[in-house]
Amino acid sequence: MTFTYQYARPALAVDCVVFGLDETDLKVLLIQRGLKPFAGTWALPGGFVAMNETVETAAQRELEEETGLKKLFLEQLYTFSAVNRDPRERVVSVAFFALVNIDDHKVKAATDASNAAWFSVADTPSLAFDHDKILGVALERLKGKVRYQPIGFELLPTLFTLSQLQFLYETILEIKMDKRNFRRKILSMNLIEETDQIEQDVAHRAARLYRFNKKRYNTLLKKGFNFEV
């Protein structure tokens, strides 16, 4: 079966930049291409948009198919439409960026047989198509956004310590922050709430665990509150 149109149409695809954070740095999820073009090269997960789905749905579906990731924070990033970005034919791609808690979404390591792996963003291989560029735009967006919207929590487990949260900002923004000032500021927003639990299995004093209060954030938003770290 084929489809015929009066005017030429670009193919429409989606690509996803999935960020995760581990104990050492910011990671991005890549897949190794099995098919031409760029067979064997690492690339962003993605694929073509079907006729009965939005680009958002397509992005979610592709991510799940290629990496098993489900129900994650996914946001439209930018649409890339350079005429020759795909050597086969004209493909316009809507890029998304996603944040996940890396522990909840372990994929197989780069060294095994699988073709999906987390790479440190500071140390990614050269990617297929214009994916290096897409990754660059995503990183910029993440840096710009994490400071003014409480999206960083998507990278952490439900319960987290204040040190983990500070590490998150220090890693993404590539700056050092003062521990006391950071705590004072973040707690004064009343967006994260103390739990009665503490860290387990650490070789030093266990830190208190906190949780992000999304309900409260929505309430404050309506009153004109501005998140800022």
The pair of structure tokens assigned to 138 is 């995503």
Q: Which residues bind a second copy (CB under 8 A)?
A: 2-12, 48-49, 51-56, 76, 78-79, 81-83, 90, 92, 94
**Which CB sits closer to a second copy, 6 or 126?**
6
Q: Does 179 bind DNA (CB under 7 A)?
A: yes
- Residue 119 makes CB contacts below 8 A (sequence gap 6+) with 27, 28, 29, 30, 42, 110, 125
We find the least distance from the C-beta atom of residue 60 to a second copy, in angstroms, to be: 13
Q: Which of residues 198-227 bind DNA (CB under 7 A)?
A: 198, 202-208
- Residue 181 binding target from DNA, a second copy, none, CB below 5 to 8 Å by type: DNA
CB 47 within 8 A of CB 41: no
Sign of CA dihedral 63, 65, 67, 68: positive
Which phi and psi angles does 166 have, rounded to 5°?
Answer: -65, -40
C-beta closer to DNA: residue 60 or 166: 166
Q: Whole-number minimum distance, CB 180 to DNA, in Å?
A: 3
Task: Rank residues 117 and 186 by Cβ distance to DNA and give the closer one.
Answer: 186
Distances (CA, A) of 96 to 13, 21, 46, 72, 162: 11, 18, 9, 12, 29
Instruction: Tally the C-alpha atoms within 13 A of residue 161's C-alpha that lie toward its C-beta.
Output: 13
Work out what residue 220 binds among DNA, a second copy, none; the CB cut-off runs from 5 to 8 Å by kind: none
Residue 161 touching DNA (CB under 7 A): yes
Torsion, Cα 154 160 166 168, to 10 degrees, reads: -30
Residues 64-123 that bind DNA (CB under 7 A): none
- Radius of gyration for the chain, computed over Cα atoms and rounded to the nearest angstrom: 20
**In the complex, minimum distance from the CB of residue 191 to DNA, in angstroms, rounded to a whole number:** 14
Closest CA to 148 of 94, 189, 209: 189
Q: Does 162 bind DNA (CB under 7 A)?
A: yes
Question: CB-wise, 74 or 209, nearer to a second copy?
Answer: 74
Angstrom distance (rounded) from CA 174 to CA 183: 18
Q: How far is the CB of 5 from a second copy (least distance, A)?
A: 5
Question: From the CB of 171, what's the least distance to DNA, in Å?
Answer: 15
> Under the rule (CB under 7 A), what is the footprint of DNA?
161-163, 178-181, 183-185, 198, 202-208, 228
